[in-house]
Chains A and B, each alone.
Chain A
Amino acid sequence: MLKGQQSWVFANRPMIVSTGVTGGPFEANGNLANDFDLLYEDLWLEQDSYEKAQRVLLEDAIDITLKKANMQKEQIDFLFTGDLINQITPSSFAARTAQIPYFGLFGACSTSMEGLALASFVVNYHGAKNVLTGASSHNAATEKQFRYPTEYGGQKPPTAQWTVTGAGVALVRENQAGQRLPVITSATIGKVVDMGLTDPFNMGGAMAPAAADTIKAHFRDLALDPSYYDLIVTGDLGRVGHDTASELLKKSGITMQHGQFQDCGLLIYKDDQPVQAGASGAGCSATVLYGHLLNQMKQGHYKRILLVATGALLSPLSFQQKESIPCIAHAVAIEMND
């Protein structure tokens, strides 16, 4: 049901039945290694290109999700996935393998929540019984497309972020009473916000206003305040963007308690890993939410969380042509079903 200007409330509360989370070697050395289902030792994943490796990350995440839910691919109605690579080939090629009716999404690093919101909407209104949704990114494949060759010795500024190698997939199903699983209660779809920033090495700073805009819209549309959630987590703002978003929200009268406002890009790696301002990439929010955060919810640490995935909608061409960086954020509220 549409509520307010840009939010959906899911009265039938679709459930996240199972998830699959895969990652690379850098994530294996990170803070949340235990929350990954499968970690690869090598960035190539035994493939002959990084783009193929990213496809395998997603394919494996899909297989793990299905295996945990004890389901076959034929039982899945739709697949909603996306990524950052040109024409989202890793997603489409994984959909070719999976042979599940497929919607390809592009929302840059906000794709994870764009997919979860759409999947929940479709399931909530009986458009499907079982929907898979997810997002993936690969550090080397993304760097190659957006920045410099992996081995190029350019110095990254302290505002730069590290693209996550990983994929996170979730299986969304119609609610069946009596199961203690996370359910999706509402979603807020963001507007594109452009504050005129042009530095592709400062994505967090560019994306922060989009995150703040969507969070404000969510509380306005649903007539809630931050105390309703145990945790409000942004996707991949990193240090610079997260601090900026905190200040923007404080200025609009949204104050949060210490530790209540977090960022997936700051959770995933250890402090001593050389990631500058934090993590980024479509796989960042997908792996942290579908791995770490849902595990924490199941263990009873959090009852209600709001995940706000942020995406920078630039292309390598647009920033060379001196265009500013338009950004978007989508929020999805997840609750433990008791």
Chain B
Amino acid sequence: MANKQNMTHEQQQYQQLQQKHEKKRPVLKNCIKAFFIGGLICTVGQAISYFYIYFFNFTEQSVGNPTVATMVFLSMLLTGFGVYDRLGQFAGAGSAVPVTGFGNAVISAAIEHRTEGFVLGVGGNMFKLAGSVLLFGVFAAFVVALIKTLLVIWGVL
């Protein structure tokens, strides 16, 4: 019934009426908030990168791993203390797109299903939200790498 073409005249009329009362997402406001909070999170990440390069033996190429680990660790703390979901309601994509948002998706699911035990609960549900990001992310990377390899073999690149 979800298909627009299959809807009866009455259903279509109702949906028009209902839409008048539906409060729309404030898209522009949400974008601005997402831009600044997302930017802030990335600035923190950049500062952590410089910290590792300056004080430890990391280069610009190798600093990614410790930076991501630190950001996910901070995200874990904020999720556990119940701050990240509030930040998410305010910032939307700004806190969902950076790696901290990925961390939050994994950790919140792990906390949520702790009551069903470590194996069936935490283990089985940890990647409930993030699993499709991993699957399609890895697959997309594979396809891109394949295309690049073929182009190199054919001498295009």
Binding site for B on A (CB under 8 A): 48-51, 144, 148-159, 194-198, 202, 205, 208-209, 239-240, 243-244, 247-248, 274, 277, 322-324
Contact = CB atoms under 8 A, between A and B. Distances in A.
A277 B22 CA distance: 10
Nearest to B95: A153
A240 B1 contact: no
B138 interface: no
Contact of B115 (A49, A202, A243, A324): A49
A209 B16 CA distance: 13
Given A240-B23, A323-B1, A151 B111 contact: yes
A322 B12 CA distance: 17
Given A48-B115, A158-B25, A159-B23, A149 B108 contact: yes
- A contact face: mostly helix, strand, loop, or mixed: loop
A194 B1 contact: yes
B88 A155 contact: yes
- B contact face: mostly helix, strand, loop, or mixed: helix
Nearest to A195: B14
Which of B7, B8, B21, B79 gathers most chain A CB within 10 Å?
B21
Interface stretch (B43-51, B56-64, B65-73, B99-107): B99-107
A152 B88 contact: yes
A248 B108 contact: no
Interface string B9-23: 011101101101111
Closest 5 A-B residue pairs measured CB to CB? A153-B88, A149-B112, A151-B108, A155-B92, A158-B23
B129 to A, nearest CB: 7
B132 interface: no
18 contacts: A151-B107, A153-B85, A153-B87, A154-B85, A154-B88, A155-B30, A155-B92, A158-B24, A158-B26, A159-B22, A196-B8, A196-B11, A196-B12, A209-B14, A239-B21, A240-B22, A247-B21, A324-B2
A248 B20 CA distance: 12
Contacts of A277: 23
Contacts of A49: 115
A247 B17 contact: yes
Contact of A152 (B1, B14, B20, B108): B108
Given A195-B14, A196-B2, A197-B15, A152 B109 contact: yes
B112 A150 contact: yes
Contacts of A152: 85, 88, 104-105, 108-109, 112, 129
Contacts of A243: 21
B42 interface: no
A205 B85 contact: no
A85 to B, nearest CB: 13
B9 to A, nearest CB: 11
B18 A208 contact: yes
A50 B121 CA distance: 14
Contact of B109 (A149, A205, A209): A149
Nearest to A153: B88
Contacts of B80: 151
Contacts of B8: 196
Contacts of B107: 151
Contacts of B93: 155
Contacts of B2: 196, 198, 322-324
Contacts of A159: 22-23
A48 B87 CA distance: 27
B82 interface: yes
A151 B22 contact: no
Contact of B96 (A149, A154, A244): A154
Given A148-B129, A274-B89, A322-B2, A153 B108 contact: yes
Contacts of A157: 23, 25
B16 to A, nearest CB: 11
A43 to B, nearest CB: 11
A50 B1 contact: no
Given A50-B115, A152-B129, A202 B22 contact: yes
